[in-house]
Structure 1
Amino acid sequence: MTQRAHQQPTRRHRNQQDRPIEWAQPTKNDNPPAPLEFRCNTCGHKEPTTTRQPACSECGGLWDLDFTPPKFDANRIDMAEWSQFRYRDFMALEGETWRGISMGEGMTPIVRFNDDILLKMDYFMPTLSFKDRGAAALIAHCKAIGVDAVVQDSSGNAGNSVAAYCGRAGIDCEIFVPEGTSPKKIAMIEAHGARVNVVPGSRDHCAQVCRDKVASEGIYYANHVYNPFFYEGTKAYIYETFEQLGRIPENVLIPVGNGTLFLGAIAALEHLLASGAIDEMPQIIAVQSEYCDPLLQAAAHRSPNPEQLTPRPTIAEGIAIGEPMRGHQILALARKHNIRFIHALEGEILAARAELAAQGIYCEHTTAANLAAYRQYVREYGPTPDCLITMCGAGLKSDH
């Protein structure tokens, strides 16, 4: 039986118990925010966030947001808003369009799995995956700048999420998915009113086919890798954890394919650290599939760029990314924060899924890979208590 998490004392928080922080009422900020800009993470070129260019027009580099959140302050959390947008003072948002887009995403519970593991139940979301965090923020941006049609490529969850929020926003949506994507994910995408293109070949090839359409037709690329507004949503994963527990666990395990949760989580942790809300970064454990591990291999070889490899078929489809477009950025953060990469062994994923299901947690295969990777991490590094693991996708979507 699962139960609400309670803290075992740690070396950093010996006298503190897990509990929601008693926040004061939010303070009012009467100063209008400055217009937001994209900044190329390769050449530094800037453009207004109203641009329809999916990447830098000067060099083709990917956009980052030129945004520094205010110092983390509990008084700036909107206690009256029961969604991830209660943290909006720390997120790059344009106006109030999020109010008509949000479906209450976020605020997912944390439950204790055993003495060492806390589970953040991020499949308790409108489309049953953590991708709703980023999609809500991204589509709020699209609505704010007047986008009326988007395309996106996905292994399933991000496409489903973007399709759902586009349906809510009244934005035309077309999703590209690779062959082998769960039929149930495809059915959900279509139910939201989006058109689905199933592309033969790998996940990376699917992405290129979609980008070719963007280049030839000029349709807005609402992509969870290219567009940094997506990461503004995934930052809330950490803000929520900090509010719920009153601390950050010593170990935080994150699956990494394209790095959408990873990049948002690191940004939020760096923000908490710079604000003095936490004393040090937790140990980040980055999970890659045994059959698709370009970042793990690069980290092992001290390479600044992902290794070139041919992915093998894996049931952990959500992290089967052979060419992560922000791989250089992910690896730089891994070096900066001494992040460890670990394999999810293919032969142990189904057993991990059954172990979770036996405690009432029915997750998809990619999510079960997180527990399989945790077991491998313990074998390599020893006992690993006080570890937060995301339950990022529901099982009903991946039964195929």
Structure 2
Amino acid sequence: MLRNTCQTTLTMLCFLLVSSGTEAQQSSPVTETILKLKDSQIQSNEGLVVIEAEHYVTQGSTDHRRWIVFNDTSPALHGFADNDPLHVQGASQNSYIELLPDTRTHHSETLVEGRNFSAVPGQLAVIAYPIHFQQSGRYYIWARAYSSGSEDNGVHIGIDAQWPVSSQRLQLCKGKNRWTWSSNQRDQQNHCGTPNTIWLDIPNEGLHTLKVSMREDGFELDKLILTQDPSYVPSGKGPKETRYFPGPIKQKTRFFNINEYSLILIADKEFSSDGKIPFYYDRNNEALAIDARVEAYRDIWVSAELKVSDEIWGKKPTDERKFNQATLVTLGEVDGESSYRVFLNKELIAQVTNKETSIDYQENYFQLGPLTLKPDDILRVEAKAVTNGKIPENGGTAFARGRWRGIILRE
């Protein structure tokens, strides 16, 4: 498949913003640095993911609170309400992030939902970390954090667009005034929680986005670890960050103008001939084609079918999928303008014809409209080998071979 992957570019983005008072306004935060790492992302390594907190790639929902990066070069005066000095000493890579302004440090100070506290995950100060997971399954989460009070020790964690209950309310109680690891989830019976009760289920291998959002302002985060070992306990600054360096993207050899898709049904891999006249695989042009040297195969519909099964998209056999757009990809040929028909369960949904062309084997894209598929549906594509009488061949004229490459589906 030709799916694009998320890649980042080395960019130092500095936001110089004016502060006013102790409460951050949309127009009044402070200087911040966001680091994007060139051509790399976090990866899992034998069931372990290690993230330096300052290596987030995006930050959103920052009207009232935002994560600020602190390191050896950070200014002592940053303009936000913050009762803590810098805690660079002891931080991994001498760098960490903190949620500011910090206007609630003790129980006696006013709690304002949606400002200095958020029981709702994903509501305030959301940062994102793209991770390439080599293994799916359950990952237990550890955070290395610094807490100096009773109201700066909670944070929410999510994956992609989801905020599972299992990863909300990570709580740090022990180890005040020093960098400390915690994997505890706060609950009503135990506000400090129990170790290894924060976790995420990763449904499949590949790229996912870990997200962190505010629960309490003033939270200081140095490092995150995701591990599939429930008995794992990090110590000290923890292991080094696990990085993924993708190789160069292979040059496309087909579907050149397709950049967004949900599923590609490749003609030679997914479809098989269903009649007496077979398609053959044209290796040079990566397409199914009709052998027009056989006169009986000319000017007649030749068909190939695909039976929809759960293996095609990895869902339950009872599931259906609704696609907003289906696209038939054919090849233009100089010696004839082949026609194509597409059927779903014997119902004709489209009939199209290649335009005349002077460029052999150029891809054509025919929009078939929305399409709903469910297991056991039969999708059939038919093509004709035809001639336009313009290309001499063996005392006659050459025939176009009804070449086609597949159907692209987009949700």
Which of structures 1 and 2 has the bigger CA Rg?
Answer: 2
Q: Which has the higher helix share?
A: 1
Q: Which has the higher strand share?
A: 2
Same fold (TM over 0.5): no
Q: Which of the five TM-score ranges fits, normalised by the shorter chain?
A: under 0.3
Q: TM-score, normalised by structure 2?
A: 0.27
